[in-house]
Amino acid sequence: MVAESLHLRCLIHGGGNQLDSLGQETGTGVRASGARYVRLSAAPFETAGVTGARVGNCYGRRGSVSGGGGSVASLSMWSVMVLGSAQDGALPQFGARTALDEAARSGAIGRRFSSCLAIVADDGRVLLLDVGLDLKAHEEVLATNQAVRRRVVPVPMDGVVLTHAHVGHYAGLLHLGREALAAEAMPCWVTTKMARFLESEAPWRFVVEQGHLELRAHEPPATFEPWTDLSVSLIPVPHRHEASDTVAISVNGSVLYLPDIDAWDEWPEAEDVIGAHSTAFLDATFWSDAELPHRDMANIKHPFVPDTLERFAHLASTRRLVLTHLNHTNPVCDPASDEHADVLRAGFEVATEGLTIAL
């Protein structure tokens, strides 16, 4: 698949030699406010899997993708792995004492980490979708993947794509900074608004300014190729916009990751977009409006699961619809609950950490 020819605006921080690390994302730049802004060339991206692919030095098996020498590459096999299936605060949630929180603490039901998917190639490359507060727990789940075990460096991913600026989706970036991993220019694909947020607000801007995170900004809707054999699309969705916009992420036109949306009625494209994918991970934050009696749930809008089941059940027979981003109050978190059974009866699945699906 040939990606769209896009005039992309990329924010590059650090030395000029980082231009080389961008592979086909090259261009000329000007300096502005301490950051190095580069407008990318208009040349179309290359056909997947052929020449010009950027190949890092960190994969356990070399040669599945050409490193620019002109040899024809074999295409990788990709899978998606669930590293986190909970709403931003995870299960159990800090300071919460619901029956579900206590069941998770006791081990009666499984713990759930902040929402995160890993896109994994059979050669060990890893692209994370969202980097939340539970990044260290995500690493433990990812370590069970056989392809990831073949990596020869300990850093468990080669890039990240973020959906939006709520803590369960980006706060784990701090693990990449000077006080922790001190990553070397980890590629981070985001919307233009999300890039502005990360480069302007402390403490995130320190991670960027110190060269640990390399922002690659796209104005959604946009399609780009992190590597020449992988295509990623950012699809705008309506969601609380305190600090950034919000996108769903489509990978190779096969998997849709949509952890947060305010309401299906506010997104007329919902059925078409979900129906275009063979696997869709969908926002299932709340079962009902009775889950947070001490809070005004109108301020934290999400579709309720029964509505989601009813709307999209007709799609479930021909594709995998996987519920994710479960709040710690959602009865679906308990596999023995009636609500969990209702989900399965409707033809949907419930995401669990470690679930792996081939793309």
Return residues touching Zn ion (CB under 5 A).
88, 166, 168, 260
Q: Residue 325 or residue 340: which is nearer to Zn ion going by CB?
A: 325
Residue (10 or 82) nearer to Zn ion, CB: 82
In the complex with Zn ion, the residue whose CB is nearer, 241 or 345, is 241
**Sequence-ordered list of residues with C-beta below 8 angstroms from that of 37, at least 6 positions apart, any chain:** 9, 10, 11, 12, 29, 30, 31
* Tokens read off for 153: 């460096």
Q: How far is the CB of 166 from Zn ion (least distance, A)?
A: 3
Cα-to-chain-centroid distance, residue 310: 26
The nearest distance, CB 168 to Zn ion, in angstroms, is 4
Nearest distance from residue 115's CB to Zn ion, in Å? 6
CB of 240 to Zn ion, least distance (A): 6
Q: How far is the CB of 327 from Zn ion (least distance, A)?
A: 9
Q: Is 268 exposed, middle or buried (0-12, 13-18, 19+ CB in 10 A)?
A: exposed
C-alpha 38: how far from chain center = 24
23 Cα distance to chain centroid: 22
Sheet holding 27-32, edge to edge: 9-12, 35-40, 27-32
Identify which of residues 227 and 286 has a Cβ nearer to Zn ion in the complex. Answer: 286
H, E, C per residue of 35-57: EEEEEECCCCCCCCCCCCCCCCC
Closest contact distance (angstroms) between CB of 302 and Zn ion is 9
Query: Measured from the CB of residue 246, what is the shortest distance to Zn ion in angstroms?
Result: 7
Complex with Zn ion: residue 151 or 328, whichever CB lies closer: 328
Q: Which is nearer to Zn ion, 116 or 157 (CB)?
A: 116
Give the nearest distance from C-beta 113 to Zn ion in angstroms.
Answer: 12
Single-letter code of the amino acid located at 121: A
Q: Could you tell me the strand order of the sheet in which 116-121 lies?
A: 213-218, 186-191, 159-161, 126-129, 116-121, 78-84, 356-358
Closer Cβ to Zn ion, 115 or 145, answer by number: 115
Residue 90 or 185 with smaller CB distance to Zn ion: 90
Q: Cβ closer to Zn ion: 242 or 338?
A: 242
- CB-nearest residue to Zn ion: 166
270 half-sphere exposure, CB direction, 13 A CA radius: 20
Evaluated on CA atoms 347, 348, 353, 354, the torsion sign reads: positive
Instruction: Identify whether the C-beta of residue 262 lies closer than 8 Å to the C-beta of residue 301.
Output: yes
| Contact (CB, 8 A) for 313 and 273 | no
Q: Which secondary-structure segment (H or E) carries 141? A: helix 135-142
Q: Is the dihedral of CA 6, 10, 15, 18 positive or negative?
A: negative
**Element at 29 (helix H, strand E):** strand 27-32
Closest approach, Cβ 296 to Zn ion, in A, equals 16
